[in-house]
Amino acid sequence: MQPRIIKLIIATGITLLFLIILEVLTTALLPSLGWDNFRLSFNVIIVLYLALKMNSTLLPWFVMTLQMVHSVFSAEGWAVGTIVGILISNIVSYLKDIVQFSSALMTMLTIQIFQVIWYIMTSAIICLKLGSFEKFSLILMTTLPATFALSLVSPLVFKILDRIWKMPDEDFGRTGVEI
């Protein structure tokens, strides 16, 4: 295999392991603290990171893989998350040239906006599947409080993901996984 493909596979594997660790921690820790209805979905931050930083035709496959791993720890299906993740990735691809991550505050604000869009779209799809929009606001309001917590930790998660995805590329003297 080519070195780039190997680096891509390694970065993907480490990212999935990172997601699994975060999912296990939030699935075990938060309910033990009495926060049964507070669910942190780190998969959304990882998808947003990849959508903002990656310029690849493989992105939908990464989104689907992340959502399948997330669905092991969540009641939501991987299909809804994959559809929404790909739609959000397309929106991000149009806007990422104007988004600057010069500060932690800007990162938090950007992640908050995209999370709200993510959960509006997810709530709409779930309501479409249910055949009624009566529970739209209830579904949306149960997921929105966690977005603030995720936005606060997003700069730290982005730094960790930067370290995972920035591997030295000896062939070209650059850093990063080139796809």
- Whether 173 is covered by a domain: the verdict is no
User: The CATH number of the domain where 151 resides is what?
Assistant: 1.10.1760.20
**Residues paired with 168 in a beta bridge:** 175
Rounded to an integer, the average pLDDT of 44-70 is 88
Record the pTM: 0.82
- Whether 176 is covered by a domain: the verdict is no
Which domain covers residue 59, as residue numbers? 3-168
Who's near 63: CB < 8 A, 6+ residues apart? 47, 50, 81, 82, 85, 86, 89
- Whether 121 is covered by a domain: the verdict is yes
- Whether 174 is covered by a domain: the verdict is no
Residue keyed to tokens 């010069």:
102
Who's near 122: CB < 8 A, 6+ residues apart? 76, 80, 81, 84, 139, 143
Q: What pLDDT does 31 receive? A: 75
Mean pLDDT across the chain, nearest whole number?
A: 82
pLDDT at residue 71 is higher than 90: no
Q: What percent of the chain is predicted at pLDDT more than 90?
A: 17
- Whether 175 is covered by a domain: the verdict is no
- Whether 54 is covered by a domain: the verdict is yes
Q: What pLDDT does 175 receive? A: 47
Q: In total, how many domains does the chain have?
A: 1
CB 45 within 8 A of CB 157: yes
DSSP string, 99-166: ---SSHHHHHHHHHHHHHHHHHHHHHHHHHHHT--TTHHHHHHHHHHHHHHHHHHHHHHHHHHHHHH-
